Amino acid sequence: MRQRRYLFSRSRRSKVRLLSWLMPILAVSLLCGYKQIQRYLIQPEAILVLGGEEERELFAADFAQQHPDLHIWVSSGSPSWYTEKVFAKAGISRNRLHIDRRATDTVTNFTTLVNELKAQGIDGVYLITADDHMLRAQVIGEIVFGSRGIMIKPVPVSLGRNPEPIEKSLRDGARALLWVTTGHTGATLGQTSNFLKK
Protein backbone atom coordinates (compact mmCIF):
# COMPACT_ATOMS: atom_id res chain seq x y z
CA MET A 1 0.00 0.00 0.00
CA ARG A 2 2.79 2.38 0.95
CA GLN A 3 4.66 1.49 -2.24
CA ARG A 4 1.56 2.23 -4.34
CA ARG A 5 1.16 5.61 -2.63
CA TYR A 6 4.86 6.38 -3.25
CA LEU A 7 4.58 5.46 -6.94
CA PHE A 8 1.40 7.53 -7.28
CA SER A 9 2.97 10.64 -5.67
CA ARG A 10 6.14 10.17 -7.74
CA SER A 11 4.08 9.90 -10.92
CA ARG A 12 2.14 13.03 -9.98
CA ARG A 13 5.35 14.98 -9.33
CA SER A 14 6.71 13.91 -12.73
CA LYS A 15 3.53 15.14 -14.42
CA VAL A 16 3.70 18.47 -12.57
CA ARG A 17 7.37 18.87 -13.51
CA LEU A 18 6.60 18.02 -17.15
CA LEU A 19 3.70 20.47 -17.17
CA SER A 20 5.92 23.24 -15.73
CA TRP A 21 8.29 22.72 -18.69
CA LEU A 22 5.55 22.49 -21.28
CA MET A 23 3.61 25.62 -20.23
CA PRO A 24 6.27 28.16 -21.27
CA ILE A 25 6.86 26.28 -24.54
CA LEU A 26 3.12 26.24 -25.22
CA ALA A 27 2.85 29.96 -24.37
CA VAL A 28 5.69 30.88 -26.75
CA SER A 29 4.18 28.66 -29.49
CA LEU A 30 0.79 30.32 -29.08
CA LEU A 31 2.36 33.79 -29.15
CA CYS A 32 4.32 32.95 -32.32
CA GLY A 33 1.20 31.53 -33.94
CA TYR A 34 -0.79 34.61 -32.95
CA LYS A 35 1.90 36.87 -34.43
CA GLN A 36 1.91 34.89 -37.68
CA ILE A 37 -1.87 35.17 -37.98
CA GLN A 38 -1.72 38.90 -37.20
CA ARG A 39 0.95 39.40 -39.87
CA TYR A 40 -1.19 37.60 -42.38
CA LEU A 41 -4.33 39.59 -41.54
CA ILE A 42 -3.00 43.13 -41.12
CA GLN A 43 -3.24 45.61 -43.94
CA PRO A 44 -0.19 47.85 -43.58
CA GLU A 45 -0.76 51.59 -43.97
CA ALA A 46 2.83 52.51 -44.88
CA ILE A 47 6.08 51.14 -46.26
CA LEU A 48 9.28 51.30 -44.19
CA VAL A 49 12.55 50.79 -46.05
CA LEU A 50 15.72 50.24 -44.05
CA GLY A 51 18.34 51.99 -46.13
CA GLY A 52 21.88 50.79 -46.54
CA GLU A 53 21.88 49.18 -49.98
CA GLU A 54 20.75 50.44 -53.34
CA GLU A 55 18.91 47.14 -54.01
CA ARG A 56 16.54 47.77 -51.09
CA GLU A 57 15.49 51.15 -52.44
CA LEU A 58 15.09 49.88 -56.02
CA PHE A 59 12.94 47.00 -54.75
CA ALA A 60 10.93 49.39 -52.56
CA ALA A 61 10.24 51.69 -55.52
CA ASP A 62 8.81 48.76 -57.50
CA PHE A 63 6.85 47.61 -54.43
CA ALA A 64 5.44 51.12 -53.94
CA GLN A 65 4.11 51.04 -57.52
CA GLN A 66 1.96 48.05 -56.51
CA HIS A 67 0.69 49.91 -53.41
CA PRO A 68 -0.17 53.38 -54.76
CA ASP A 69 -2.06 54.51 -51.64
CA LEU A 70 0.80 53.97 -49.21
CA HIS A 71 3.39 56.50 -48.10
CA ILE A 72 7.01 55.35 -48.01
CA TRP A 73 9.52 56.05 -45.24
CA VAL A 74 13.18 55.46 -46.10
CA SER A 75 15.37 55.34 -43.00
CA SER A 76 18.93 56.44 -43.80
CA GLY A 77 20.76 54.67 -46.65
CA SER A 78 21.66 56.39 -49.92
CA PRO A 79 22.05 60.18 -50.15
CA SER A 80 18.62 61.86 -50.24
CA TRP A 81 19.02 63.11 -53.83
CA TYR A 82 19.72 59.57 -55.03
CA THR A 83 16.76 58.08 -53.12
CA GLU A 84 14.49 60.75 -54.60
CA LYS A 85 15.81 59.94 -58.09
CA VAL A 86 15.14 56.17 -57.64
CA PHE A 87 11.54 56.74 -56.59
CA ALA A 88 10.92 59.47 -59.19
CA LYS A 89 12.18 57.13 -61.93
CA ALA A 90 9.60 54.57 -60.73
CA GLY A 91 6.88 57.22 -61.02
CA ILE A 92 6.39 57.61 -57.27
CA SER A 93 5.13 61.06 -56.33
CA ARG A 94 7.52 63.01 -54.09
CA ASN A 95 4.73 63.76 -51.59
CA ARG A 96 4.49 60.00 -50.83
CA LEU A 97 8.19 59.79 -49.99
CA HIS A 98 9.59 60.56 -46.53
CA ILE A 99 13.37 60.36 -46.15
CA ASP A 100 14.70 60.25 -42.60
CA ARG A 101 18.46 60.49 -42.11
CA ARG A 102 18.61 60.25 -38.29
CA ALA A 103 19.29 56.51 -37.99
CA THR A 104 22.86 55.34 -37.53
CA ASP A 105 22.16 51.59 -37.27
CA THR A 106 19.33 49.07 -37.41
CA VAL A 107 18.03 49.80 -33.90
CA THR A 108 17.79 53.53 -34.60
CA ASN A 109 16.05 52.80 -37.93
CA PHE A 110 13.09 51.94 -35.70
CA THR A 111 13.52 54.15 -32.64
CA THR A 112 13.81 57.38 -34.65
CA LEU A 113 10.57 56.76 -36.55
CA VAL A 114 8.24 54.85 -34.22
CA ASN A 115 6.65 57.88 -32.53
CA GLU A 116 6.27 59.77 -35.81
CA LEU A 117 4.50 56.81 -37.42
CA LYS A 118 2.25 56.36 -34.40
CA ALA A 119 1.38 60.08 -34.43
CA GLN A 120 0.31 59.64 -38.08
CA GLY A 121 -2.12 56.92 -36.95
CA ILE A 122 -0.17 54.11 -38.60
CA ASP A 123 -0.79 50.70 -37.00
CA GLY A 124 1.01 48.50 -39.53
CA VAL A 125 3.91 48.77 -41.97
CA TYR A 126 5.49 46.70 -44.70
CA LEU A 127 9.11 46.27 -43.63
CA ILE A 128 11.59 46.14 -46.52
CA THR A 129 15.19 45.12 -46.02
CA ALA A 130 17.66 42.52 -47.32
CA ASP A 131 16.75 38.89 -46.65
CA ASP A 132 19.94 38.25 -44.66
CA HIS A 133 19.13 41.28 -42.47
CA MET A 134 15.42 40.56 -41.99
CA LEU A 135 15.59 38.42 -38.83
CA ARG A 136 17.45 41.14 -36.92
CA ALA A 137 15.13 43.84 -38.29
CA GLN A 138 12.08 41.80 -37.28
CA VAL A 139 13.36 41.20 -33.75
CA ILE A 140 13.96 44.93 -33.26
CA GLY A 141 10.73 45.92 -35.02
CA GLU A 142 8.59 43.56 -32.94
CA ILE A 143 10.00 45.10 -29.78
CA VAL A 144 10.19 48.80 -30.71
CA PHE A 145 7.15 49.10 -32.98
CA GLY A 146 5.27 46.52 -30.92
CA SER A 147 5.69 48.75 -27.86
CA ARG A 148 3.53 51.34 -29.67
CA GLY A 149 1.07 48.85 -31.16
CA ILE A 150 2.50 48.97 -34.70
CA MET A 151 2.58 45.64 -36.51
CA ILE A 152 5.20 44.80 -39.13
CA LYS A 153 4.78 42.67 -42.24
CA PRO A 154 8.20 41.61 -43.56
CA VAL A 155 8.99 41.94 -47.27
CA PRO A 156 12.55 40.64 -47.73
CA VAL A 157 14.73 41.64 -50.68
CA SER A 158 16.42 38.47 -51.92
CA LEU A 159 20.14 39.06 -52.34
CA GLY A 160 21.33 35.44 -52.07
CA ARG A 161 23.63 35.95 -49.10
CA ASN A 162 24.04 33.86 -45.96
CA PRO A 163 21.95 34.98 -42.95
CA GLU A 164 23.62 37.23 -40.39
CA PRO A 165 24.96 35.58 -37.21
CA ILE A 166 22.19 35.14 -34.60
CA GLU A 167 24.33 37.06 -32.11
CA LYS A 168 23.54 40.31 -33.96
CA SER A 169 19.80 39.71 -33.51
CA LEU A 170 20.26 38.92 -29.80
CA ARG A 171 22.46 41.97 -29.23
CA ASP A 172 20.15 44.38 -31.04
CA GLY A 173 17.08 42.77 -29.47
CA ALA A 174 18.60 43.57 -26.08
CA ARG A 175 19.27 47.14 -27.23
CA ALA A 176 15.65 47.45 -28.39
CA LEU A 177 14.44 46.28 -24.96
CA LEU A 178 16.78 48.81 -23.37
CA TRP A 179 15.22 51.56 -25.49
CA VAL A 180 11.67 50.50 -24.54
CA THR A 181 12.53 50.57 -20.82
CA THR A 182 14.94 53.54 -20.64
CA GLY A 183 14.66 55.55 -23.87
CA HIS A 184 18.34 54.84 -24.69
CA THR A 185 19.42 52.58 -27.54
CA GLY A 186 22.73 51.58 -25.98
CA ALA A 187 24.59 52.73 -29.09
CA THR A 188 26.99 54.70 -26.93
CA LEU A 189 27.67 51.98 -24.35
CA GLY A 190 31.16 51.65 -25.77
CA GLN A 191 31.63 55.39 -25.40
CA THR A 192 30.33 55.74 -21.85
CA SER A 193 30.49 59.53 -21.82
CA ASN A 194 27.16 60.35 -23.49
CA PHE A 195 25.22 57.33 -22.23
CA LEU A 196 26.01 57.86 -18.55
CA LYS A 197 25.39 61.62 -18.66
CA LYS A 198 21.85 61.28 -20.10
6, containing H or E segment: helix 2-41
pLDDT digits (tens, 9 = 90+) for 48-64: 999 989 999 999 999 99
* Distance (Å) of CA 48 to CA 23, 55, 65, 70: 36, 14, 14, 10
CA trace torsion 74, 76, 79, 82 (10° rounding): -20
For the beta sheet containing 124-130, the strands, ordered from the edge strand earlier in sequence to the opposite edge, are 97-100, 71-75, 46-50, 124-130, 151-157
Q: Is residue 4 part of a domain?
A: no
The answer, as to whether pTM is greater than 0.85, is: no
How does residue 186 score in pLDDT terms, banded at 50, 70 and 90? confident
Task: Name the region of 67 (left: φ>0; alpha: ψ -120 to 50; beta: rest).
Answer: beta
Q: Is residue 154 part of a domain?
A: yes
Q: Is residue 28 part of a domain?
A: no
pLDDT digits (tens, 9 = 90+) for 114-161: 999 999 999 999 999 999 999 999 999 999 999 999 999 999 999 999
Domain range spanning residue 175? 42-187
Q: Is residue 172 part of a domain?
A: yes
Q: Is residue 92 part of a domain?
A: yes
CB 72 within 8 A of CB 64: yes
Q: Is residue 24 part of a domain?
A: no
Domain at 163, CATH number: 3.40.50.620
CB 59 within 8 A of CB 86: no
CB 46 within 8 A of CB 117: yes
Q: Is residue 197 part of a domain?
A: no
Query: What's the structural domain count of the chain?
Result: 1
Q: Is residue 14 part of a domain?
A: no
What is the pLDDT of the chain when averaged over all its residues? 85
DSSP secondary structure letters along 104-124: SSHHHHHHTTHHHHHHTT--E
